[in-house]
Amino acid sequence: MTLKKKARSRFVRFLGKQLREDRTTLQIYSRDMADLPSLVSIFFQNIPDGVILASSVKDIQTIYSVANETKTPITQRAAGTAGLGGSITYKKGLVIDTKGFEQHYLVNPLDQTVVVSPSYVFSDLQRKLKLEGFSLCSYPSSYHSATIGGWIAHGGHGIGSAQYGGVLEQIVEIEVVLPTGHLVKYTERDHISLFVGSHGTLGTITEVTLRVKFDIPLKHQGCTFDSPKELIQGLEEIVRIFPYSVWFLNPEHVALFNETFGYNLPIRYVAIISKEVNFEEEELEFSRLFNNAVRNAGGQILDRRYTEDIWQFRFKSFSMLKQCKDFVVSEVILPIEASDKYIRKLVSKFKGNIHLEGEVISPTHYALMMYLLYDEKLSSLKKTLLNLKLFNLTIGSKKVKGTPYSTGLWFSGYYGKIYGKDELRRYKEFKKSVDPKNISNPGKVLSPKLRFLPIVSLKFAVRLASRLIL
Amino acid sequence: MFMSSSTDWQVDVLEFAQKCIYCGYCSLCPTYKELKWETYHPRGILEQIKLYFTEGTKEEVKLDTSKSLFEAIFACTMCKMCENICLADIPLLKIWEQIRQESFKKGRWNPSMLSLYNKVKDTYNIYGLPSEDRLTWAKMSGLVMTRRTKKKAPLAYFIGCQAAYSGKMGQVAPSVVKILRKTKTNFTILGTDEWCCGSPVFLAGGYSVGKSFAKHNLDELKKLGVKRLVTACSGCYRTFKIVYPRVLGDSWDIEVLHISELANELIKAGKLKLKHKFKEKITFKDPCELVRHCELIEAPRDVINSIPNVRFEELPSNRNEALCCGGGGLLKLNDSELVGKVNSKLISEIEYSEADIVANGCPTCLDTIMTGVKNKGLDVEVIDIAELILRAMGDK
């Protein structure tokens, strides 16, 4: 326990049993989805001093008040289903578990919006919305576990983003407790965008108004391509027919998909396209446009039998990981145009070990999930090297302008690359005005300094390591 | 697979815990949703298992972990939602059972759990009441069971402790018996020789005591030449269907049926006719032990839909996604307040469905739903599916 005595007594006084400091709890809250090699954890302090289960706006205000007073770093955590280190502590302090937030939910059918608490898990919210004839516009592939608040803080894209955009496009209003303790509501896009992808560094989200849509049935079509070049041409053609979702796999991943789920898909690049269809004429039109798009790109149409129930496996990709002993995962956002070279490079670098799964997130970009799968348990050193290699490939390619999926801890320092320089400047100004003591999730978004060498930033160190070692 | 000893019964909990990919899908756990600390999250429990079982862990750390681990493991309702959604196919329920066993070995059961365990062990029922009282339900409902008790027959009706002893479940056993009599089905009951199926003992992690119960019930059934066993209790059903084959191996060759399955069979054979029309809207709550543990989904629906002009409506969460009532996994003994919290979500769904009758196939669900409905002041009748079938046959 390294929490200062004064700070501890203040937190205990105000939050009582909502604060836990036992070893087991701290250990559990010291990781997110990525099981980090022990070597990496030498450079930062991921085991917190305590965990607070916050349940209300008042709790968050109290936490900020005491944290400011005692200079205690706080790190917000929702479902902890991302693997970028955004919800683990960089320099100890307290983890604030926002899953404890009291849940409320109110649909406004006229505006087609829903007001929800950030602790709602997407699948729970979707179930409720469907009962009222509505549906989420877009949602993450970790739909069964990720929370609304977590997705916003992470800055996500996902299924449905091809048509409805990422999380930023879904938010109508956001309520936040700033590190100053003030409760504010923002409706302007300029303000909302600051909180998307900022990992709680600018405040803690306490309520969100999301745009929803009518629950229109989806029709699915599938196609296959022989090469990355054909695949990319295919994606360029397919986005023109305004799909709801475009999901694709590389041949290695298709083989694993077949093995895991008992399918018999052709071992080529396979893409599954979904579109909202209201009536039969629309469906016929979708089929016609889809067939033309695939043929123009030189692909083949997949038998409809394959695509009927394939949708349900959208949320089960990670179950393919059970087929291997160890794995390393990373995600990158790529422009559709000319990214076939990048895919080819990835495949040649990792020779058969790399499995790719992509989701188109806009008419021009897609998110590419990269899995490195191994039949043996990797040593800590090898895992670190693979992480660095993947890191280098994710952000180091100059020909293809790929960006990390989000910043978190591992890609801290890349905010400007993801959101643009102007946005970074605005972010820094806002951060300075609301959190001058840097207590709200330090070490994230902006690259922190190394623990043992405080003149070097984490971004620089990781980049240097990835270049030198490889 | 046949498990001849308690060692075979066990799985390598540490190996499986290490297989967790931390996707967090198991966050749909109904008790985690209420308690909210990640120490109660199934993936959090697996992390604790790693800490507890890894070789070389200091005793001090083990002790610290065990406190939180055992607390979390007894907050589980054994609803199997976590295992069903697990992307890594981890046999979570077997692991939870084993941790409960570990807790017993370390003397860390809470007194009410221990008391239940001793009651079952000493009196062969969960209430600690004399075996002679096992047929009180028949006397109370005016049924004479003398000629049916311990008589040779191909079918046995296993009543179960709750239907036999609990006043709240007073209508379950008479309903089943009346259905069997009216359809002229040749059946027998074990009477005072019926022992608890062992479900609470197995759920608590007691392998050897549970096995002795299984052996006794099998011997008694064999003596009567029983080939098929019917029960109206989903806990007994799961134990006979899943646990007994694991414990007794090939010697357990009795076909197990839930009353809804048997009724469905009788309807199809034209022996059971549902002629009474219901004005009320009916819904069905899938018991976890039927739907997720044993994949019994359609039989109760087929039966209800055989009622002429029935107004049947599914609950919003149904079939494999059915909500847990909160009463399973012996949670009532550990944290009755938590049972109420978990149950309130189900009650809200019942309210949303606007049903007049909630049918069910599990005495534990029946009990918790009745309490929830009463607490919320809903005008809903909660009955067992056997009772519903009997009413649909025209019996008042």
The burial of B131, by beta-carbon neighbours within 10 Å (0-12 exposed, 13-18 middle, 19 or more buried), is given as middle
Q: Please tell me which of the candidates A25, A32, A123 has its beta carbon nearest to residue B68.
A: A25
Q: Do domains B6-108 and B120-265 have the same CATH topology?
A: no
In this structure, the strands spanning B357-360 and B281-285 are parallel
The CA distance from B108 to B114, in Å, is 9
The three-state secondary structure class of A190 is helix
Q: How many CB atoms lie within 10 A of CB B227?
A: 13
Distance from CA of A249 to the nearest CA of B (A): 19
Best mutation target among B16, B19, B20, B23 (most A Cβ atoms within 10 Å) is: B23
The three-state secondary structure class of A21 is coil
Distance from CA of B311 to the nearest CA of A (A): 19
The CA distance from A417 to B265, in Å, is 66
Spatial contact of B68 and A25, defined as CB atoms under 8 Å apart? yes
Sign of CA dihedral B11, B13, B16, B21: positive
Residues of A within an 8 Å Cβ radius of B: 20, 22-25, 27-29, 31-33, 35, 51, 53, 79-81, 97, 99-100, 121, 123-124, 127, 131, 142, 144-146, 316, 318-319, 321-322
A99: nearest CA partner in chain B: B36
- What is the reported pLDDT for A267? 96
At residue B206 the predicted structure's pLDDT band, cuts being 50, 70 and 90, is confident
Measured distance between the N- and C-terminal CA atoms of chain B, rounded to whole angstroms: 45
Which residues of chain A have a pLDDT value below 70?
Answer: 1-2, 36-37, 39-40, 396-400, 470
At residue B215 the predicted structure's pLDDT band, cuts being 50, 70 and 90, is very high
pLDDT tens sequence across B314-341: 999 999 999 999 999 999 999 999 999 9
State yes or no: pLDDT of B39 exceeds 70: yes
The CA distance from A321 to A317, in Å, is 8
> What CATH number was assigned to the domain covering residues A218-377?
3.40.462.10
DSSP A408: T
B87–A contact, CB cutoff 8 A: yes
- What is the reported pLDDT for B197? 98
ipTM of the complex: 0.95
State yes or no: pLDDT of B4 exceeds 50: no
At residue B118 the predicted structure's pLDDT band, cuts being 50, 70 and 90, is very high
Spatial contact of A396 and A464, defined as CB atoms under 8 Å apart? no
B25–A contact, CB cutoff 8 A: yes
The CA distance from A330 to A339, in Å, is 17
* Mean pLDDT, rounded, for B270-298: 97
Spatial contact of B168 and B383, defined as CB atoms under 8 Å apart? no
- What is the reported pLDDT for A179? 98
Q: Please tell me which of the candidates B19, B38, B317 has its beta carbon nearest to residue A322.
A: B19
Architecture of domain B274-392: 3-Layer(aba) Sandwich (3.40)
> What CATH number was assigned to the domain covering residues B6-108?
1.10.1060.10
State yes or no: pLDDT of B290 exceeds 60: yes
B35: nearest CA partner in chain A: A100
Please, which residues have CB within 8 angstroms of residue B65's CB and are 6 or more apart in sequence? Answer: A23, A24, B48, B51, B52, B57
Alpha carbon of B63 to those of A130, A443, B333: distances in Å? 46, 33, 23
Rounded to 5 degrees, what angle do the CA atoms A22, A23, A25 make? 70
Domain assignments of chain B as residue spans, ordered by start: 6-108, 120-265, 274-392
Structure tokens at A202: 């600018």
The CA distance from A88 to A76, in Å, is 8
- What is the reported pLDDT for A450? 86
SS (H, E, C) chain B: CCCCCHHHHCCCHHHHHHCCCCCCHHHHCHHHHHHCCCCCCHHHHHHHHHHHHCCCCCHHHHHHHHHHHHHHHCCCCCCCHHHHHCCCCCCHHHHHHHHHHHHHHCCCCCHHHHHHHHHHHHHCCCCCCCHHHHHHHHHHCCCCCCCCECCCCCEEEECCHHHHHCHHHCCHHHHHHHHHHHCCCCEEECHHHCCCCCHHHHHCCCHHHHHHHHHHHHHHHHHCCCCEEEECCHHHHHHHHHHHHHHHHHHCCCEEEEHHHHHHHHHHCCCCCCCCCCCCEEEEECCHHHHHHCCCCHHHHHHHHCCCCCEECCCCCCHHHCCCCCCCCCHHHHCHHHHHHHHHHHHHHHHHHCCCEEEECCHHHHHHHHHHHHHHCCCCEEEEHHHHHHHHCCCC
User: Which residue from A201, A197, A204 is spatially nearest to A182, judged by alpha carbons?
Assistant: A204
Tokens 């559990």 sit at which residue?
A28
Spatial contact of B238 and B198, defined as CB atoms under 8 Å apart? no
Alpha carbon of B25 to those of A211, B32, B43, B153: distances in Å? 25, 12, 9, 47
At residue B2 the predicted structure's pLDDT band, cuts being 50, 70 and 90, is very low
Domain assignments of chain A as residue spans, ordered by start: 105-214, 218-377
Identify the residue with better confidence: A402 or B17.
B17
- What is the reported pLDDT for A406? 93
Spatial contact of A354 and A369, defined as CB atoms under 8 Å apart? no
State yes or no: pLDDT of B7 exceeds 60: no
* Mean pLDDT, rounded, for B84-95: 95
Please, which residues have CB within 8 angstroms of residue B105's CB and are 6 or more apart in sequence? Answer: none
Q: How many CB atoms lie within 10 A of CB A422?
A: 9
Q: B27 and A31 in contact by Cβ < 8 A?
A: no
Q: Please tell me which of the candidates A28, A318, A319 has its beta carbon nearest to residue B47.
A: A28
The three-state secondary structure class of A436 is coil
DSSP H or E segment with residue A383: helix A380-395
- Chain A positions touching B87 (Cβ under 8 A) are 316, 318-319, 321-322
pLDDT tens sequence across B167-183: 999 999 999 999 999 99
Q: Please tell me which of the candidates A24, A123, A145 has its beta carbon nearest to residue B48.
A: A24
- Chain B positions touching A322 (Cβ under 8 A) are 19, 21, 87-89
**Cα B343 to the chain's mean position, in Å?**
16
Spatial contact of B162 and B237, defined as CB atoms under 8 Å apart? no
Architecture of domain A105-214: 2-Layer Sandwich (3.30)
**Domain B120-265 maps to which CATH number in 3.30.70, 1.10.1760, 2.60.40, 3.40.50?**
3.40.50
The CA distance from A212 to B224, in Å, is 62
- What is the reported pLDDT for A308? 73
- Chain A positions touching B57 (Cβ under 8 A) are none
- For chains A and B, count residue pairs whose Cβ atoms are closer than 8 Å: 88
User: Which residue from B226, B214, B215 is spatially nearest to B190, judged by alpha carbons?
Assistant: B226
The CA distance from A221 to A242, in Å, is 13
